[in-house]
Amino acid sequence: MTSPVHVTSEIGTLKTVLLKRPGKEVENLTPDIMGRLLFDDIPYLPEIQREHDFFAKTLQDNGVETIYLETLAAEALDAGNVKEEFLEKMLDESALVSSTLHAALKEYLLSMETQDMIDKIMAGVRTNEIDYKSNALVDLSSSEDYPFFMDPMPNLYFTRDPAASMGDGLTINRMTFAARRRESLFMEYIMEYHPRFANKGVNVWRSRNHLDRMEGGDELILNDHVLAIGISQRTSARSIEELAQVLFAKHSGFDKILAIKIPSNRAMMHLDTVFTMIDYDKFTIHPGIQDNGGNVDTFILEPGKDNHINISHRTDLQNVLREVLKVPELILIPVGNGDAVVAPREQWNDGSNTLAIAPNTVVTYNRNYVSNEVLRSYGIKVIEVISAELSRGRGGPRCMSMPIVREDLKK
């Protein structure tokens, strides 16, 4: 039986991708909370939706099936008859102050159609939506008028992060920040109950029930044997080692992981903000992750004797990639042409966050025009999408897409 999840590279022709159309959650941001919710500005909803629809249409026009997180989530709950169970878990994870509020929100949300309930949970629940007066001391004594009972989840349109396809399976991730932690619950239920995925042999290599963090923006599938995973603000070294244990023991097909250490800061939160694969022998790179000699700390994890993991340390990333990919030459293309102003500007707007939809063909933001021209000068086919509002969330085409099926690469 072929698995409904199948991704053995970053660049194989993209067949099916998971998206989330930005909804009210991106408008439920205020200057007071946007920093905590990992936004730098507040998108204009009709425009961000128009841009996202354009992104989806671009993928469809190139033969990609687009499926939507919000739709699959509602279908999964109905198919599994688990609407109430899901809601209970979601409320448990929503930092509610009291059990009476829990009960009130449960009644409010459960009375909705499943799709409306999902959309509402994603958008957030305002305090003025239900008639509820808290008698908890924390509320009675609080001088702050916080407007939400349940916070919005504005980062959901970055479907790449809460889960990541890997071979015939995926990781469902424990997210770093509380602002995004509930997001991966949707994927857990989709894999468990949606008829497209449930009981179809999809391996969950790592579940969200871990203490250590991992996010899909750090997880790159270099080929059917080799992964690159960022040690970053969002993914810990420990979780990479834990994942390696599982992948090596369970005959996943993956027998090498390059753990690439990148600076831990907001601009470079995930490996895919500074490094993405474009072709068999080409990558984008933000020069900011290399030292003056072009070095990057890279650790190679491989299966050793008796379930041990052998780890070797290298700094010559370019050579390491050339060796593991078995290509005669390997090209690292600098975002913004490496210019001292253009590179950090375009990287900030995800100039190196390319989404390959086939070898040598990428989707990128139009605003990163310098990087796009550099890519074209290497003979790469660059398909641009509009990006004024989408980029305000600090994620690009790769972050906004979670491949479900890619064609295998020809050997």
Handedness of CA 32, 19, 367, 275 (dihedral sign): positive
Report d(CA 313, CA 298) in Å as an integer: 6
One residue of 151, 161, 219, 389 binding ligand ARG per CB under 6 A: 161
Under a CB-based contact definition with an 8 Å cutoff, are residues 309 and 241 in contact?
yes
Residue whose C-alpha is closest to residue 397's, from 335, 347, 351, 344: 351
Q: Single out the residue of 120, 174, 194, 270 in contact with ligand ARG (rule: CB under 6 A).
A: 270
Binds ligand ARG (CB under 6 A): choice among 183, 394, 403, 404: 394
CB under 8 A, 24+ apart: contacts of 58-63: 58/363, 58/383, 58/385, 59/14, 59/17, 59/357, 59/363, 59/401, 62/14, 62/357, 62/361, 62/383, 63/13, 63/15
Joined tokens for residue 279: 């072709």
Q: How far is the CB of 161 from ligand ARG (least distance, A)?
A: 5
CB 234 to ligand ARG: min, Å: 7
CA distances from 145 to 37, 141, 209, 290, 297 (A): 18, 11, 33, 45, 46
The smaller minimum CB distance to ligand ARG, of residues 149 and 348, is found at 348
Nearest distance, CB of residue 70 and ligand ARG, angstroms = 18
Rule CB under 6 A: say whether 272 interacts with ligand ARG.
yes
Instruction: Confirm or reject binding of residue 166 to ligand ARG (CB under 6 A).
Output: no
Residue 219 in contact with ligand ARG, rule: CB under 6 A: no
What is the DSSP secondary-structure string of 60-87?
HHTT-EEEEHHHHHHHHHHHHT-HHHHH
Of 83 and 182, nearer to ligand ARG (C-beta) is 182
In the complex, minimum distance from the CB of residue 10 to ligand ARG, in angstroms, rounded to a whole number: 13
When the beta carbons of 9 and 235 are compared against ligand ARG, the nearer one is 235
The answer to whether 204 touches 175, Cβ cutoff 8 Å, is: no
Which of the stretches 51-59, 249-257, 266-274, 318-326 binds ligand ARG when contact is defined by CB under 6 A? 266-274
The number of CA neighbours under 13 Å toward the Cβ of 291 is 8
Residue from 8, 184, 273, 352 in contact with ligand ARG (CB under 6 A): 273
* Span from 58-66, 94-102, 195-203, 388-396 in contact with ligand ARG (CB under 6 A): 388-396
Residue burial 263-289, b: 16+ Cβ < 10 Å; e: rest: eeeeebbbbbbbbbbbbebbbbbbbbb
Interatomic CA distance for residues 30 and 34, integer angstroms: 6
Which positions from 290 through 349 interact with ligand ARG, judged by CB under 6 A? none
Q: How far apart are the first and last CA of the chain?
A: 22
User: Is 158 a residue that touches ligand ARG (CB under 6 A)?
Assistant: yes
Q: Do 53 and 94 meet the contact criterion of CB atoms below 8 Å apart?
A: no
Task: Write out the binding residues for ligand ARG, residues 170-199 only, by CB under 6 A.
Answer: 180
Q: Is 399 a catalytic residue?
A: yes
Alpha carbon of residue 207 to chain centroid? 15
Q: Which span (48-56, 265-273, 300-308, 315-323) binds ligand ARG, by CB under 6 A?
A: 265-273
By CB under 6 A, is residue 151 in contact with ligand ARG?
Answer: no
Cβ proximity of 320 and 300 under 8 Å: yes
Provide, rounded to whole angstroms, the least separation between the CB of residue 216 and ligand ARG. 6
217 binds ligand ARG per the rule CB under 6 A:
yes
- The nearest distance, CB 176 to ligand ARG, in angstroms, is 8
Q: Contact 82/107 with Cβ under 8 angstroms?
A: no
Element (H, E) at 189: helix 183-193
Among 13, 16, 94, 155, interactor with ligand ARG by CB under 6 A: 155
Contact between 393 and ligand ARG (CB under 6 A)?
A: yes
Catalytic-role residue among 38, 172, 285, 399: 399
Among 69, 321, 399, 404, binds ligand ARG (CB under 6 A): 399
Taking contact as CB under 6 A, which single stretch among the options 16-24, 154-162, 286-294, 364-372 is the one that binds ligand ARG?
A: 154-162
We find the least distance from the C-beta atom of residue 158 to ligand ARG, in angstroms, to be 4
Q: Between residues 83 and 349, which has the closer beta carbon with respect to ligand ARG?
A: 349
Per rule CB under 6 A, is residue 38 in the interface with ligand ARG?
yes
Q: Kindly list the residues in this chain that would bind ligand ARG in the complex (CB under 6 A).
A: 38, 155, 158, 160-161, 180, 217, 269-270, 272-273, 393-395, 399
Q: Cite the active site residues.
A: 399
